């Protein structure tokens, strides 16, 4: 659905997007992670034909981004939830969606059905006759999501869609994205929210002007762990750890943390070293409930790769 090759955007001497090559499959939720200024929004604006690329290639479906004859065709295929919602504050929620639906030449019956459907899913149907200017930031964000879907695009770009939402509304949006995923829509999601990316995305790209890494959340976590990243054994005891237990573990590992009856032990190779951990605890009089191995988290991966990308 999306294919870029060495996609680059410069603003004068500033390189905002540097030779980015990605492939996003049909029906996939692809997450773009990166710090402020990493080039995420610039990439989306290029792909949505809102700004021009400096060099490189980009395609949406069978159309070339940057080719004037294909720009309108691409815009009909896509929906965009921008970082700035850009609604008409003097129009009602219903009329905002009706206006944009007409711009996309949605037939009357389909347009009315979609307005009710998406306002209802966003919890805004009861507010359909209220003007958008009276809405909170979170309500405007949800209305912007409904607007992006009014013409039922095959590909949806979402730039920080839960940034202004409370936890309940954020969950509504996440569940909505998962519903769209069931409909086989392709979603390109810019987000700072690592937990959100891990819950929703099939694959993730980590960007810091250059593309640093891509993969499923699990693949990225395993890559960091197998590459010498932090791995931890978590032991639950039946009681709080005694000084004797901690002393025994201290001889095996230099970093042991405690939280109530939970011990977290950093090891190079838990699969081989856990037997010694269990033996040390038992010899010191500890009673074990469970032992689990925790690899690198997505947060560990993100922070490590972004730091390396900035160095």
Q: What is the pLDDT of residues 87-115, one digit of tens each?
A: 999 999 999 999 999 999 999 999 999 99
| Beta carbons of 13 and 186 less than 8 angstroms apart | no
137 with 239, same domain: the answer is: no
Q: What is the pLDDT of residues 223-261, one digit of tens each?
A: 665 555 556 788 999 999 898 998 888 887 768 888 889
Q: What is the pLDDT of residues 64-84, one digit of tens each?
A: 998 999 999 999 999 999 988
Last residue of a domain, one of 185, 217, 249: 217
**The model's pTM:** 0.76
| Percent over 90 (pLDDT), the chain | 55
Is pLDDT above 70 for 309? no
- Residue carrying the six token digits 């762990």: 225
Is pLDDT above 80 for 156? yes
Residue 299 lies in a domain: no
CATH number assigned to the domain comprising residue 211: 3.40.50.300
Q: How many domains does the chain have?
A: 2
Angle at 54 between CA 52 and CA 60, to 5 degrees: 55
150 with 8, same domain: the answer is: yes
Q: Which two tokens stand for residue 117?
A: 């459907």
pLDDT at res. 227: 53
46 with 132, same domain: the answer is: yes
- Residue carrying the six token digits 């209802």: 120
pLDDT at res. 40: 93
Q: Which two tokens stand for residue 265?
A: 């032990």
Confidence band of 282 (pLDDT split at 50, 70, 90): very high
270 with 197, same domain: the answer is: no
Domain that holds residue 123: 2-217
Average pLDDT estimate for 14-29? 95
Confidence band of 121 (pLDDT split at 50, 70, 90): confident
CATH number assigned to the domain comprising residue 242: 3.30.70.2470
101 with 196, same domain: the answer is: yes
Q: What is the pLDDT of residues 28-63, one digit of tens each?
A: 999 999 888 889 999 999 999 999 999 999 999 989
Residue 309 lies in a domain: no
Cα separation, 145 vs 78, in Å, equals 13
236 with 118, same domain: the answer is: no
106 with 245, same domain: the answer is: no
170 with 197, same domain: the answer is: yes
Packing angle, helices 298-310 and 217-226, rounded to 10: 70
Residue 95 lies in a domain: yes
236 with 91, same domain: the answer is: no
- Other CB atoms within a 10 A radius of the CB of residue 293 amount to 13
Last residue of a domain, one of 165, 185, 217: 217
180 with 40, same domain: the answer is: yes
Cα–Cα nearest to 30, from 47, 17, 50, 10:
47
Q: What is the mean pLDDT of the chain?
A: 88
Cα separation, 233 vs 311, in Å, equals 30
Q: What is the pLDDT of residues 125-153, one digit of tens each?
A: 999 999 999 998 889 988 999 999 999 99
Last residue of a domain, one of 189, 217, 245: 217
35 with 89, same domain: the answer is: yes
Confidence band of 210 (pLDDT split at 50, 70, 90): very high
- Other CB atoms within a 10 A radius of the CB of residue 291 amount to 17
């Amino acid at each position: 659905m999306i294919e870029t090759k060495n996609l680059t955007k410069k603003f004068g001497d500033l390189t905002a997007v540097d030779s980015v090559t990605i492939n996003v499959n049909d029906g996939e939720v692809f997450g773009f992670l990166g710090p402020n200024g990493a080039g995420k929004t610039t990439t989306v604006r290029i792909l949505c034909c809102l700004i021009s690329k400096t060099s490189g290639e980009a395609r949406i479906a069978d159309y070339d981004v940057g080719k004037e004859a294909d720009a309108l065709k691409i815009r009909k295929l896509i929906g965009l939830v921008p970082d700035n919602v850009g609604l008409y504050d003097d129009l009602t929620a219903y009329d905002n969606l009706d206006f944009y639906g007409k711009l996309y030449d949605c037939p009357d019956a389909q347009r009315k059905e979609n307005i009710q459907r998406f306002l209802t899913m966003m919890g805004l149907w009861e507010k359909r006759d209220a003007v958008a200017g009276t809405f909170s930031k979170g309500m405007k964000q949800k209305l912007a999501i409904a607007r992006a879907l009014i013409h039922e695009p095959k590909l949806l770009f979402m730039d920080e869609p839960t940034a202004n939402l409370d936890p309940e509304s954020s969950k509504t949006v996440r569940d909505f994205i998962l519903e769209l995923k069931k409909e086989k829509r392709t979603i390109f999601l810019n987000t700072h929210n690592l937990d959100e990316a891990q819950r929703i995305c099939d694959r993730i790209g980590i960007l810091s002007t250059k593309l640093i890494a891509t993969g499923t959340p699990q693949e990225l976590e395993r890559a960091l762990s197998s590459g010498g990243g932090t791995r931890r054994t978590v032991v639950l005891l039946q009681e709080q750890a005694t000084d004797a237990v901690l002393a025994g573990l201290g001889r095996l590992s230099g970093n042991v943390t405690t939280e109530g009856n939970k011990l977290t032990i950093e090891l190079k190779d838990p699969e081989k070293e856990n037997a010694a951990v269990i033996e040390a605890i038992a010899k010191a009089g500890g009673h074990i409930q469970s032992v689990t191995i925790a690899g690198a988290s997505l947060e560990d991966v993100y922070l490590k790769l972004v730091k390396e990308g900035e160095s």
